[in-house]
Amino acid sequence: MKKATNVWVFIFIIIVNVAFSQKTNCTLDFEFKGASNSSNENGDWGGFLNQNHCGTTFNGYLKALGVRANQTGFIFLDSSEQTRCLNSMKRFDCGMEKLTSGGGGCSNYSTADVEQKLGNELRSLSENCRFASCGSCVRSWESINGGSNLEESMICRFAVLVSLTSLKVEDEENIQRIYECLSNNTRVYG
């Protein structure tokens, strides 16, 4: 009898651990160079971020989305995945919640959709963010439109940027330069 009770206790512990881990595990990998020592903690992406102290965290989030997009083709997390990630990051006030799949338009795009529907913009951003000039990178970024209002266009810009990141996941130095350029030089949003 005691053996059967021990088995049930063991099964109960496993079920609780699995249930708890599913609520708290983030599917993104935040392990990459430069995530915590970037100099642009105050970059706010032209006001897209709600707080100006979120720059490095947001850049890490974008990089992690790019790595995931490289592996899966999906750009943005759904709301439950994103909630788990924001909980694990302990960041709720930055504005990252705007980049959630399921809102229609570019928020639902995959990397294949970006290539098909915004391929010219993706190529332009890639070419102009090779860093002869940050200004040409910003101009390419700001020329990306895909929605009927500025917030939708910003989501399309981030869809293109995450797609670009997914293509260059091994070139972390260049990705960090792109993020630093855009986060600090994008014109005021909203």
The answer to whether 52 and 183 are in contact (CB under 8 A) is no
Residues 6+ apart with CB under 8 A from 102: 78, 79, 108
Q: Which residue segment(s) compose the domain that 180 sits in?
A: 2-185
Q: Residue 103: inside a domain, yes or no?
A: yes
Alpha helix (H) residue ranges in the chain: 2-24, 55-72, 79-89, 111-128, 134-142, 150-167, 172-185
Please write the tens of the pLDDT for every residue from 96-118.
888 999 988 999 999 999 999 99
Classify residue 90: in a domain, yes or no.
yes
pLDDT of amino acid 127: 94
What is the spatial distance between Cα 81 and Cα 27, in angstroms, rounded to a whole number?
7
Q: Is residue 35 part of a domain?
A: yes
Residue 113 has a pLDDT of 97
In a domain, 190, yes or no: no
The pTM of this model reads: 0.81
**Token pair belonging to 172:** 């972390």
**Residues of the chain with confidence (pLDDT) below 50:** 7, 9-10, 12, 15-23, 32-40
The pLDDT value recorded for residue 42 is 63
Counting other chains too, the contacts that 174-177 makes at CB distance below 8 Å and 24 or more residues apart are 174/129, 174/130, 174/131, 175/63, 175/66, 176/34, 176/38, 176/59, 177/129, 177/131
Number of domains in the chain: 1
Q: In the prediction, which pLDDT does 92 show?
A: 62
Q: What is the pLDDT of residue 38?
A: 44
pLDDT of residue 95: 80
pLDDT at position 52 is 65
What is the spatial distance between Cα 101 and Cα 171, in angstroms, rounded to a whole number? 26
